[in-house]
Amino acid sequence: MQAARGTSLSPDDSSLNDTQSVPSRTRVRALLLASFALLYALDQLTKWLAVDRLTGEPDHELVGELLVLRLTRNAGAAFSTGTGYTSLFSCLAIAAVLVVLWLSRRVASPGWAVALGLLLAGITGNLTDRVFRSPGVLRGHVVDFLMLPHWPIFNVADICINVAAALILVQAFRGIRLDGSRVEREAEEPADS
């Protein structure tokens, strides 16, 4: 049915897409926030438990020698590198948090939302240690307590960062952008014979 010649009573496609994308974007941002909040809380809780229960205690084998609880405090970055640059790592982590928050404004893909939520939880979890733990603000040592054979001791925040990196790579290889659109790939043209 038409109201006037050539005019439709139904909204045009562009306004329909705008109203449909708002709840979708809201749900995706809620997913990002929920991923962040849940995993950040898990990281902080497990670190608190590790410090409370493992301080001064010998190693606890959870799964034989495959997974062992051993409390350590790491002043450096991954693999305890750069232990003299704790303040620099703290500043880099603050910058990384700001970049993730800036990118999250554009997120409309559930995969990217989970990846950024995990990344934010991991970075913020370790940054919290650097800000609030001894020996001082921006110089605090990160609590690590999970140990696998032939691997450095780590924590839940480290797991979040690594899983986030894997999800980001998956999204990139699938050609999915932050806004949920797909990268257009040109079809290969056959070679002239």
- What pLDDT shows up at residue 24? 87
**Positions in the chain whose pLDDT score sits under 70:** 1-23, 79, 186-193
CA-to-CA distance for 130 and 93, rounded, in angstroms? 10
pTM: 0.82
Beta bridge partners of 159: none
Domain segments of the chain as ranges: 26-174
Give Cα separations from 59 to 71, 74, 166 (angstroms): 8, 17, 30
- What pLDDT shows up at residue 33? 98
Q: What phi and psi values does residue 7 have, to the nearest 5 degrees?
A: -105, 130
User: Where would I find the H helices in the chain?
Assistant: 13-54, 86-104, 110-132, 156-174
| Identity at 113, one-letter amino acid code | A
- What pLDDT shows up at residue 4? 54
Residue environment code for 72-94, b if the CB has 16+ CB neighbours within 10 A, otherwise e: bbbbebeeeeeeeebeebbeebb
Catalytic residues: 144, 158
- What pLDDT shows up at residue 74? 93
CB 100 within 8 A of CB 172: no
- What pLDDT shows up at residue 10? 47
